[in-house]
Chains A and B, each alone.
Chain A
Amino acid sequence: DTEVTQTPKHLVMGMTNKKSLKCEQHMGHRAMYWYKQKAKKPPELMFVYSYEKLSINESVPSRFSPECPNSSLLNLHLHALQPEDSALYLCASSQDSWTGGLNEQFFGPGTRLTVL
């Protein structure tokens, strides 16, 4: 099973709302990632969790708050977003490069977020 699932598929929120994006994988991967993708642009790395610890935060504003409750789950909590945060948010997982082995990333289908 090489599936990464994400919920919801679509989300519309106001600038004062609080919402969460969820991501799940059951491949036994120990690294999980959040990416943001604007229209006609490549995905940009936001956060990396390795063994449930935040290992990379690419200078993302604090209105985005990641959480990794266990090795299979990854959340992205959203609060006080701006319209320019509207984008496709992609989750991915991989074995973990620190092990020195195969570190192929697998992506979920994404959550299309619109901030009004």
Chain B
Amino acid sequence: GIQVEQSPPDLILQEGANSTLRCNFSDSVNNLQWFHQNPWGQLINLFYIPSGTKQNGRLSATTVATERYSLLYISSSQTTDSGVYFCAVEDYGQNFVFGPGTRLSVLP
């Protein structure tokens, strides 16, 4: 099945810093999403981005489907950005696979 990798596994930032999270996947995908999981377990949709670039406030994402990777940019990070960021892909058989996640801690 499709493999998904994320880097870095852990990231500690000072408030106000910028960061880039990466997601690599092993095969062509029908769908790619970025999620933020808060401490209570809720998965919050950040981007639905099978290809191209999108921006939403301080967050932006780029997926280069032909090269099988996606990037999530967080600018001017805040303590509320802390949590786990997951990339999830869907293959062409409705099978959704999550990457292992990047655990982000933003310090005041």
- Residues on A lying within 8 angstroms of B by beta carbon are 2, 31, 33, 37, 41-45, 48, 50, 55-56, 88, 90, 97-98, 102-107, 109-110, 112
* CA gap between A115 and B89 in the complex, in Å: 30
- Residues of A within 8 Å of B83, CB to CB, are none
A-B CB pair tally, cutoff 8 Å: 57
- Residues of A within 8 Å of B100, CB to CB, are 41-42
A30 to chain B, nearest CB (A): 11
- Residues of A within 8 Å of B27, CB to CB, are none
Q: With contacts A42-B99, A90-B43, A110-B41 known, is A105 near B33, CB below 8 A?
A: yes
* B50, closest chain A residue (CB): A103
Cβ 8 A contact of A107, one of B31, B42, B48, B95: B42
- Residues on B lying within 8 angstroms of A by beta carbon are 30-31, 33, 35, 40-43, 45, 48, 86, 88, 90, 92-101
Q: Does A37 contact B41, Cβ atoms closer than 8 Å?
A: yes
* B49, closest chain A residue (CB): A104
Q: Which of A97, A102, A110 has the most CB of B within 10 A?
A: A97
Q: Does B98 contact A43, Cβ atoms closer than 8 Å?
A: yes
Other A-B contacts than A50-B94, A107-B35, 16 sampled, CB-CB below 8 A, are A2-B45, A33-B96, A42-B86, A42-B100, A43-B43, A43-B98, A44-B98, A45-B97, A97-B31, A97-B94, A103-B90, A104-B45, A107-B43, A109-B42, A110-B41, A112-B41
- Residues of A within 8 Å of B90, CB to CB, are 97, 103
* CA gap between A31 and B98 in the complex, in Å: 18
Cβ 8 A contact of A105, one of B41, B88, B92, B95: B88
Q: With contacts A42-B100, A50-B94, A103-B90 known, is A97 near B42, CB below 8 A?
A: no
> Could you pull out 21 A-B pairs where Cβ atoms are within 8 angstroms?
A41-B100, A42-B98, A43-B43, A43-B98, A45-B97, A55-B94, A56-B93, A56-B95, A90-B43, A97-B30, A97-B31, A97-B92, A103-B30, A103-B90, A104-B45, A104-B48, A105-B33, A107-B35, A107-B43, A109-B42, A110-B41
